Amino acid sequence: MTTKTLHVQGMHCNACKLLLEKSLSSLEGVDSVQANVSKGTVTLGYETTPNFDAINQTIKDCGYEISEAKIVRPWLSKNIDDYKVMILSLLGFVFLYFILSVTGILSFNLSGSTPSLGLVALIGLTAGFSTCMAIVGGLVMAISAKQNEKHQDLSFAQKIVPHLWFNTGRVV
């Protein structure tokens, strides 16, 4: 079996990997596909030479770009939207911390015989995240991949709506 490694720009998560592997493996002549998010590569395995124009077009249709050289990722992003999300998240956490501090939820009563509601909530959140991540992580990943595949032109805020509904349903 012959293999060819392509350098692909734009992959950043496991959903990207799954989307590329599924899309490329359906092409005629492609026997195996292995995407690597951390290296930014897609390795194709084939017996008969596949149509590389179709492969390139499929990768572009998925929202990624092919690069001839190895992709060197900079330490700092040039995408201003990344910083907007980061700053908004930081402001949200500061606001949440302020609200929780004012209401007294963050005062953990570790010395008394009865734990505070804040401590109980923290233990519940920790247990909820650890089990939920293990149990429904794959489900959320599959939903995310399908959503991104169908709606590649959505903004970050639009892409997060299904996750908000999913987690609202879990909490309720």
For residue range 13-64, what is the model confidence (pLDDT) as tens digits?
A: 888 899 999 999 999 899 999 999 888 899 999 998 888 899 999 999 998 9
**Residue position matching structure tokens 């026997």:** 31
Give residue 87's pLDDT. Answer: 95
β strands within 61-126, DSSP E:
65-67
Write out pLDDT tens, residues 65-97. Answer: 887 767 666 778 788 888 999 999 999 999 988
Question: In degrees to the nearest 10, what's the CA dihedral of 117, 122, 125, 126?
Answer: -150
pLDDT for 79 equals: 81
* C-alpha–C-alpha distance, residues 84 and 90, integer Å: 10
Domains delineated in the chain: 2-67 (3.30.70.100), 104-171 (no CATH)
Q: Give the whole-number percent of the chain exceeding pLDDT 90.
A: 23
Query: Other CB atoms closer than 10 Å to residue 116's CB: what's the count?
Result: 16
Residue 6: phi, psi to the nearest 5? -110, 140
pTM of the model: 0.45
CA–CA distances in Å: residue 57 to residues 28, 43, 51, 64: 14, 16, 10, 10
pLDDT at 124: 72
Q: How far apart are CA 121 and CA 128, in angstroms?
A: 10
